[in-house]
Amino acid sequence: MSFPAPPVADPEVAQRDSTHADGGSGGSTIADSTTPSQQLITERVGTALQMDPVITEIEGPARELQTPSLNRLWWGVTASTVASRTLVITYPLLALATTHSPTAVGLTTAMLTVPGLLFYLPVGVLADRVAPHFLIRQGESFRAAIIITVMIMVALGVAQLPLILVAAFLEGTLSTVYSVAEAALVPLVAHDDKVDAALAASERSTQLGALVARPLAGALFGLNQVLPFIIGPILVLLSSRSVPRYEEKCAVAPEYRAWPTGRFRLKELRAAIVEGFQELRSHSFLRAAVILTAATNFMVNALIVAFIASSIEVGPLIVGLVLAAGSIGGTLGTILAERTQSQKWILSIHLVIWTFALMLPAVNQHPVFFAFALLLTGWGAATNVAMRRYEKDKVAADKLARVVSVSRLAGHAAVVAAALVGGLLVDTWNIQVATRILSITMVTICVPFGVWLLFLSKNRVRTPA
């Protein structure tokens, strides 16, 4: 992998940035109709054209991204999420249908999840140096080609486990690229006064996509094994074409979006990753949010796995409806996030709601109690929006993707670990004991974490100079 070091900023531009950050005018003359960031972008377009072949089509001053383009992006996020979540279910089902082996299902599931553990951090470094819209377009196009290949093999009846495992691994890898690149793209293309609403809309699109994908995957595969692989490429290509073009708005710091040209050694990659960790550690709110979401994601995903492992007598329809409750709650959470401005209160509400939610299945193991618990944990989507809002406001632009990749890695690792723990709890005891262990653990987490949040609320959140 090759990357150049980020070019040194123009001293004149750096001085203007510093002056603007301090709130002074510094003698700068800015037209009433143009924001400082827009003026800065316009001045840097010439440099960008020489540095990044991806955005050579920009001509003239950058323009604000219009609402139709943002709406197109949200449809793209929804389409990509539907494709991704459908394939997460379809690939293991295909492995089972092909081999009739539970071990093959486990291997396929591992191939879908391992790339997140391996590549979130390197992809964060990549997305801080390559235009996010370019990563999305190229990644989604490659993803469509892979799905079409699997579709042909399935249609011909020659799909074998090695092909399924390779396709699942590449699907997990490209989904990781999309996740980080999309998070880095949204703050760049939305106008300043619409970024918060755009972040909430992005999260809402993800939740709606997950809600549609879960029942869709089983229904399509049940009708015909080829169907999910026909729908998948269509959705993925729609996602690729939905990415706003930079001539619509170039709200990007071009000096960090150069296409790789120089050698980028492993030592430099490690240093860039460490820099992302250090940036995240310098923000008290982000530290608390990442730890809280990782812990609660672990708890609720362990609960989901425990429920599925004990659902033999319940039936797949009920299981699907229970899991859909989480996506419904997530959609509602993104709406509430737009009306909740206090970041520290979002974390406090998150902690209280999830502690209460995990108590419900411990009291009664009826599917309705699981569904209501997952509905409540949808508040986690509001926390996700708060984190992205904070990252947009406080994190250095050239480190945003790396910070995002660290938080995504923490959440992903929690989900992977939860899959093992949830099944082990039910296998060792039963669903009643498993839910009570999870509930007691959540209460135990709630007490010290609540004290920490109280401490944070009384101390100003530290931000980098």
DSSP state of 265: -
Tens digits of per-residue pLDDT, 176-214? 999 999 998 888 787 777 888 888 889 999 999 988 987
- Determine contact, residues 51/258, Cβ cutoff 8 Å: yes
At 159 the pLDDT is 94
Q: Side chain identity at 48, as an amino acid letter?
A: A
Q: Which long-range contacts link 306-315 to residues 24+ away (Cβ below 8 Å)?
A: 306/422, 306/423, 306/425, 306/426, 306/431, 306/434, 306/435, 306/438, 307/361, 307/367, 307/370, 307/431, 309/422, 309/423, 309/426, 309/427, 309/431, 310/365, 310/426, 310/430, 310/431, 310/434, 311/367, 314/367
With 0-12 / 13-18 / 19 or more C-beta atoms within 10 angstroms meaning exposed / middle / buried, residue 263 is exposed
At 351 the pLDDT is 93
- Determine contact, residues 346/199, Cβ cutoff 8 Å: no
Q: Which parts of the chain sit beneath pLDDT 50?
A: 1-66, 246-261, 461-465
At 275 the pLDDT is 93
Cα separation of 4 and 92, whole Å? Answer: 40
Cα separation of 416 and 425, whole Å? Answer: 15
Task: Measure the CA angle with vertex 295, ends 85 and 341; round to 5°.
Answer: 85
At 10 the pLDDT is 42
Quick count: other Cβ atoms within 10 Å of Cβ 206?
Answer: 25
At 234 the pLDDT is 96
The domains found in the chain, sorted by start residue, are: 63-250 (1.20.1250.20), 264-459 (1.20.1250.20)
What pTM, to 2 d.p., does this model score? 0.78
The DSSP string of 277-323 is HHHHHT-HHHHHHHHHHHHHHHHHHHHHHHHHHT-TTT-HHHHHHHH
With 0-12 / 13-18 / 19 or more C-beta atoms within 10 angstroms meaning exposed / middle / buried, residue 117 is middle
At 264 the pLDDT is 60
The greatest distance separating any two alpha carbons of the chain, rounded to the nearest whole angstrom, comes to 73
